[in-house]
Amino acid sequence: MTGLRYVYAVCRPFRSALQTQLKGVAGEPPKQLTHHGLVAVLSTVPERDFAEEPLRAHLEDLDWLTETARAHQSVIDALTVVTTPLPLRLATVFRDDSGVRIMMEAREAEFRRTLDRLEGRVEWGVKVYAEAEPAENGPPAGTPTSGRDYLRQRRSRARAHDDMWQHAETFASRLHATLSERAEDSRLHAPQNASLSGASGRNVLNAAYLVPRADSESFVELVDRTKDEEAGIRVELTGPWAAYSFVGEEGA
Amino acid sequence: MTVIERREVALVDLLDRLLSGGVVITGDVTLRIADVDLVRIDLNALISSVNAQVPSPFQELT
């Protein structure tokens, strides 16, 4: 069989079949490659798109990246229904099956430890945004009557902005502390830039929490309760995700 | 667990995980296993072209 091997995840063997219509990147259905009692979930991808050079070029193309990322995620999602997958980073490509086997052997002990640690856990994403404009409170600004008045108004607007961001950051760190207590582990991602996300407001917290499935409902309720707590602050929840943000070894 | 309503996942949330999370099969594995021609792409170029202000999450790969 020609073509390269695109590996999505490593899992323990699972009994349930994946959906038959499931398609991975490049439209091929994912297959399982079992080696030493672990399963690599992979699909064949054409060399013309996934060899190092074309892949490098494609990854600069946001449409191609979007399509590939979504296909990768749909395979991980399908796996999450039947097992606890250990997701690999986007675009992990091997020359052939034997390359995949060699990699699995080299990383076997680490994969087993991480799979044990993540078994039955999912990841929840929580983001906090400070809305772009502070709520209009205090005296209405009106038209400045003098240069000095103008400067005073400008300073007070700047102060209101600072206060709002300070307030949002305090809220975010308090929320993060509360959620961390309820989660087994947490990670802080870099705040998202509005030009990438298209979201309004400034992202002051972009965190991931590792939560046992069994505790997820109460975790979600806890996040939901904070949503209307404060004016000018927006809380967004995403998930459940496979534990992408928690695959590193402890302390790594 | 109740079914939680899911909108289509935002690309940026997906990329947070697919590009800075997930198990990294690093280049030094390629070096140690000489006959595996392993292709591992880092996405520095893309991210910096999308937004120069976002610190690269891929420093560990370079």
Percent of the residues in chain A that have a pLDDT greater than 70, as a whole number: 93
Fold classification of A121-246 is Alpha-Beta Plaits (3.30.70)
| Nearest alpha-carbon partner for A203 in A194, A195, A212 | A194
B27: distance to nearest CA of chain A, Å? 11
pLDDT tens, residue by residue, B3-25: 344 456 888 888 888 887 888 88
A60 contacts B23? CB cut-off 8 A? no
Please tell me the predicted confidence (pLDDT) of residue A140. Answer: 56
Please tell me the predicted confidence (pLDDT) of residue A109. Answer: 96
B54 contacts A103? CB cut-off 8 A? no
Please tell me the predicted confidence (pLDDT) of residue B29. Answer: 34
Please tell me the predicted confidence (pLDDT) of residue A153. Answer: 86
Q: Is the pLDDT higher at B39 or at A242?
A: A242
Please tell me the predicted confidence (pLDDT) of residue B35. Answer: 30
Alpha-carbon gap, residue B19 to A53, rounded angstroms: 18
Of A60, A125, A220, the CB nearest to B45: A60
**A216-224 — which CB contacts under 8 Å span 24+ positions?**
A216/A122, A216/A124, A216/A240, A216/B1, A217/B1, A217/B2, A218/A182, A219/A124, A219/A179, A219/A182, A219/A183, A220/A124, A220/B4, A222/A178, A222/A179, A222/A182, A223/A124, A223/A126, A223/A179
Do residues A233 and A171 lie in contact, with contact meaning Cβ atoms separated by under 8 Å? yes
Do residues A125 and A30 lie in contact, with contact meaning Cβ atoms separated by under 8 Å? no
Of B4, B24, B39, the CB nearest to A51: B39
A182: distance to nearest CA of chain B, Å? 16
Residues of B in contact with A193 (CB under 8 A): 51, 53-54
Least confident of A87-91, A206-210, A239-243, B35-39: B35-39
Q: Is pLDDT at A83 greater than 80 in this prediction? A: yes
Of B4, B16, B38, the CB nearest to A189: B16
Chosen for mutation from A6, A104, A115, A196 (greatest number of chain B CBs closer than 10 Å) is A196
Q: Is pLDDT at A152 greater than 50 in this prediction? A: yes
B51 contacts A89? CB cut-off 8 A? no
B41 contacts A91? CB cut-off 8 A? yes
Residues of B in contact with A59 (CB under 8 A): 41, 43, 45-46
- Quote the strand ranges of A12-120, DSSP E: 31-35, 38-45, 86-87, 92-94
**In sequence order, what are the residues at sequence separation of 6 or more whose Cβ sits closer than 8 angstroms to the Cβ of residue A98?**
B36
Least confident of A88-92, A105-109, B40-44: B40-44
Averaged pLDDT for residues A152-178 = 88
The backbone region for B38, taken as left when phi is positive above 0, alpha when psi lies in -120 to 50, beta otherwise, is beta
Please tell me the predicted confidence (pLDDT) of residue A141. Answer: 59
Total domains, chain B: 1
Q: Is the pLDDT higher at A141 or at A5?
A: A5
CATH 3.30.70-classified regions of chain A: 121-246
Averaged pLDDT for residues B28-51 = 37
pLDDT tens, residue by residue, A36-68: 999 999 999 998 988 877 887 787 777 888 899
A125: distance to nearest CA of chain B, Å? 8
Question: Would the pTM count as exceeding 0.90?
Answer: no
Please tell me the predicted confidence (pLDDT) of residue A1. Answer: 52
Alpha-carbon gap, residue A197 to A203, rounded angstroms: 10
Kindly state the DSSP code that residue B42 receives in the 8-state scheme: -
Query: Considering the domain boundaries, does residue B61 fall inside one?
Result: no
Query: Considering the domain boundaries, does residue B36 fall inside one?
Result: yes
Please list, residue by residue across B11-22, b when 16 or more beta carbons sit within 10 angstroms of its beta carbon and e when fewer do: bbbbbbbbbbbb
B56: distance to nearest CA of chain A, Å? 9
Residues of A in contact with B22 (CB under 8 A): 87-90, 92, 244, 247
Query: Considering the domain boundaries, does residue B7 fall inside one?
Result: yes
Q: How far, in whole angstroms, is CA A9 from its chain's centroid?
A: 16
Query: Considering the domain boundaries, does residue B24 fall inside one?
Result: yes
Q: Is pLDDT at A18 greater than 90 in this prediction? A: no
Q: Is the pLDDT higher at A156 or at A240?
A: A240
Query: Between the CA atoms of B24, B28, B30 and B32, what dihedral angle is there, to the nearest 10 degrees?
Result: -130
Q: Is pLDDT at A232 greater than 50 in this prediction? A: yes
Pick the residue from chain A with its C-alpha nearest to B60.
A252
Query: Considering the domain boundaries, does residue B23 fall inside one?
Result: yes
Confidence grade of residue A217 (pLDDT, cut at 50, 70, 90): very high
Please tell me the predicted confidence (pLDDT) of residue B61. Answer: 42
Percent of the residues in chain B that have a pLDDT greater than 90, as a whole number: 0
Query: Considering the domain boundaries, does residue B11 fall inside one?
Result: yes
Query: Considering the domain boundaries, does residue B59 fall inside one?
Result: no
Query: Considering the domain boundaries, does residue B62 fall inside one?
Result: no
Range of the domain at B41: 1-52
Do residues A133 and A203 lie in contact, with contact meaning Cβ atoms separated by under 8 Å? no
